[in-house]
């Protein structure tokens, strides 16, 4: 993903600002500041941050860190200015907990809104939105409107499946969910079957899979729901064509539902502005915040009864799988090992 010069300068400025903040007395005493480290593109969370500041008067500083977020916080130790982590995928949330850079939060407001399946049992992280791992299907060449994840290994799809790297965190979570449903041996056979059906070596991102479907390289692909909205509603005319070439099918596991992952947040271990951080966490499950976040990110709200983005709603009713994502997180290492064992990316 390209980063323009002005954006890069903004990140450098933000980093410097937080550095000065960490070294000042304000870092320990200010009650109207919140420092967030995030892997999310700033534009995707800015609408929520602006509304939070408007409502509470708390100024929010954000640092965008594409990779190594938890390592950076651990390296900063007790002097870290970070109060809160905002990131995507259970793998990153679990990694932050495993690295020892988070602390548990006990909040009735969070527990009341967020289903237990989408938060850490010990309170170290909380999901604030859902994204489905779904099937992109050619409008021209695929007529069925239902499919299971298991069916992607059916020989009828030989030479017709596209997917990004099996080691990408989104696919690792899906494979881990398959292990949770079927056991490691059957998940391995499934992965072998999907590999045998690939039209090309796994590559690119989720949007590129839609591009390949338009080009006739494959008929079906695996991707996240929100990318389709970004393609259809963005400003890039080429990507709009990719989005228009596909239908989204919400697949299910046999006997289960559609695999979902989360966007989530966690309170840092040494948060200097803990009260403000918890206040923000609770704000994120308010009706207003959930609506703003769902619209800005094209994700499913974690809170029941909140309007879903129109493009996402057009895919049909989401019947999310019921295996807690914390259980899926425990199987990610095995999933990664299976990807290598079957030579999925080779």
Measured CA to CA in angstroms, residue 168 lies from 3, 190, 294, 344 at distances of 21, 18, 24, 12
First to last CA, the chain: 24
Beta carbons of 335 and 94 less than 8 angstroms apart: no
Assess whether the region 5-130+261-307 and the region 131-259+317-341 belong to the same CATH fold. Answer: yes
Q: Does the domain made of 5-130+261-307 have the CATH classification 3.40.190.10?
A: yes
Please tell me the predicted confidence (pLDDT) of residue 31.
54
Q: How far apart are CA 174 and CA 256, in angstroms?
A: 13
DSSP assignment, residue 321?
A: -
Measured CA to CA in angstroms, residue 264 lies from 7, 86, 188, 268 at distances of 24, 6, 29, 13
The answer to the question of whether 283 is labelled as a binding residue is no
For 64-86, write each residue's pLDDT tens digit.
999 999 999 999 999 999 999 99
Per-residue pLDDT band for 43 (boundaries 50, 70, 90) equals confident
Whether the pTM exceeds 0.75: the reply is: yes
Beta carbons of 272 and 194 less than 8 angstroms apart: no
Please state the domain extents for the chain. 5-130+261-307, 131-259+317-341
Please tell me the predicted confidence (pLDDT) of residue 273.
97
Beta carbons of 155 and 197 less than 8 angstroms apart: yes
The answer to the question of whether 300 is labelled as a binding residue is no
Q: How far apart are CA 228 and CA 240, in angstroms?
A: 9
Mean pLDDT of 96-116: 97
Beta carbons of 221 and 163 less than 8 angstroms apart: yes
Per-residue pLDDT band for 99 (boundaries 50, 70, 90) equals very high
Mean pLDDT of 36-60: 94
- Indicate the fold that domain 131-259+317-341 takes in CATH: D-Maltodextrin-Binding Protein; domain 2 (3.40.190)
pLDDT over 70, % of the chain: 91
For 148-182, write each residue's pLDDT tens digit.
999 999 999 999 999 999 999 999 999 999 999 99
């Amino acid at each position: 993903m390209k980063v323009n010069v002005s954006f890069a300068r903004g990140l450098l400025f933000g980093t410097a600002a937080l550095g000065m903040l960490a070294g000042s007395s304000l870092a320990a005493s200010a009650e109207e500041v919140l420092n967030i480290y995030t892997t999310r593109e700033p534009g995707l969370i800015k609408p929520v941050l602006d509304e939070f500041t408007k409502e509470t008067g708390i100024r929010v500083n954000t640092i965008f860190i594409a990779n190594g977020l938890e390592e950076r916080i651990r390296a900063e130790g007790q002097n870290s200015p970070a109060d809160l982590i905002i990131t995507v995928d259970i793998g990153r949330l679990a990694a932050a907990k495993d690295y020892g850079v988070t602390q548990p939060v006990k909040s009735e407001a969070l527990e009341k809104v967020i289903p237990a399946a989408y938060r850490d049992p010990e309170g170290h992280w909380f999901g604030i939105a859902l994204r489905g791992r779904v099937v992109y299907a050619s409008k021209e060449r695929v007529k069925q409107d239902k499919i299971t994840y298991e069916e992607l290994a059916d020989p009828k799809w030989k030479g017709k499946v596209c997917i990004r790297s099996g080691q990408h965190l989104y696919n690792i979570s899906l494979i881990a969910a398959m292990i949770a449903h079927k056991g490691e041996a059957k998940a391995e056979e499934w992965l072998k079957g999907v590999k045998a059906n690939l039209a090309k070596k796994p590559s690119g991102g989720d949007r590129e899979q839609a591009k390949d479907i338009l080009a006739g390289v494959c008929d079906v692909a695996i991707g996240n729901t929100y990318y389709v909205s970004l393609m259809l509603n963005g400003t890039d005319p080429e990507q709009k064509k990719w989005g228009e070439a596909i239908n989204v099918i919400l697949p299910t596991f046999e006997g289960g539902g559609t695999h979902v992952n989360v966007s989530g947040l966690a309170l840092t271990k040494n948060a200097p502005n803990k009260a403000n951080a918890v206040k923000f966490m609770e704000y994120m499950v308010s009706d207003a915040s959930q609506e703003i976040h769902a619209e800005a990110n094209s994700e499913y709200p974690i809170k029941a009864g909140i309007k879903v983005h129109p493009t996402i709603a057009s895919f049909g009713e989401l019947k999310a799988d019921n295996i807690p994502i914390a259980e899926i997180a425990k199987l990610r290492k095995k999933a990664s090992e299976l990807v290598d064992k079957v030579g999925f990316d080779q």
